[in-house]
Structure formats: C-alpha cells, structure tokens
Structure 1
Amino acid sequence: MQSSFTIPADHPSLSGHFPGRPIVPGVLLLDAVLQAVAAAAPERGAPAKLIRAKFPARVAPGAAVAVTLAPRGDDRLGFTCRCGDTIVLLGEFGWPAPA
C-alpha cells in the first residue's frame, strides 16, 4: 500500500522548527502516516500504539514524502517514508491482538 503527502512551506509549525533552516517535525510525519493507515484500512480504526519510530533523515518543507505500509501479522503494520531514495521515517504501529 502506497500513498504520498507534502507538508507545505507555510505550515504553522514550521516557523519555529527551526528558524533559518526549517524541517518538518516528526509529529507531522507520524500524523500523515496515521492518515495513510486510516485511508488504507478504515475498518481497523486508529492504531492503539506506536511500537517504534526512527527518523534517519530530515524532511524539508514542500518535499514529497512517499509512504509504504506493510502488514506484519494481525496486530501490526510497518511503515516506511521516503523522500526520493532516502528513508526519512520507518517504524511500526500496533493494535490489540485479536481475541
């Protein structure tokens, strides 16, 4: 499952993050991934927990970010975000285990 998003350069959170060299805050990236999860699997509802997240590279305002989602069993979903060939975020969300 793939989707993409862009955080515009005029987003309100960028003015203080960081002056002179803005970068997209990680919370905005995670929110965009959650939106991709909701669009890809609306029947699941929002994940119950963030199992792990790693931000190996910065995202500049206006950069296109591609999101790839990969199921990992019944209760986990992996995600990878890339700007071009560069991985900028990877991690895993989880839901309560099925009864």
Structure 2
Amino acid sequence: MEFRIAADHPSLPGHFPGRPVVPGVVVLDRVLDAIETGHGPLNGLRLPQVKFAQPLLPEQTARIELDGAAPRWRFRVLRGDTLLASGEVVADAPA
C-alpha cells in the first residue's frame, strides 16, 4: 500500500517549524489502516516493537509492506529502497 501525507495535513504545523516532518503516529496510523484494509477492524492493538530509521517528509510517497497473518504482523515502511520504519503489530481479536 502506498501513501503520501499532504503538506497541509493538520499534524504538521509545529512538527517542526520551518522543516516539517510527518509524525511517527501518522505513519503508524497508515500501517494500521493497511492491516485493517486486508483483515477488517481489529481490537486491542499493540505495537510491541517499532523503530523509526529515517524521517518521512510531507508530499513524499512511501509504501507499507506487511508480513504475517492475524493476529500478528511485521511491517516495513519504505521510501523507494530506504527503510523509514519497521516493527510489529499484534491484535487481540477481530472486532
């Protein structure tokens, strides 16, 4: 799944003034959207492991790669071949 955060996204002002960076929570929200797109709504989500390697800037295109199946997925967020974030999502059960 590819995504891009628009330069006028409401999370960007103040994060950081003069050089906006997409907040990690916005990137993770896109990861959860990708999982729920394939598996439906999920309950009790946990992210026991997350690592941010590089920043995502507004208007850059990134893609999410998922590996695994309910209730546990590993994810990678990439911009081209550059790893931006990786980690694991665990769900209790389908909603």
Q: What TM-score, normalized to structure 1?
A: 0.86
- Number of residues paired by the alignment? 93
Q: Give distance in 2, aligned partners of 1:78 and 1:41.
A: 14
Gaps of 5+ in 2: none
Cα distance between partner residues in 2 of 1:47 and 1:54: 20
Equivalent residue, structure 1, for 2:3: 5
Structure 2 matches for 1:3-82, cutoff 5 A?
3-42=1-40, 45-46=42-43, 48-71=45-68, 75-82=71-78
Q: CA deviation at 1:47?
A: 5.4
Q: Distance in 1 between matches of 2:32 and 2:78?
A: 15
Q: Which is helix-richer, 1 or 2?
A: 1
Partner of 1:94: 90
Structure 1: tracts of 5 or more residues without a match:
none
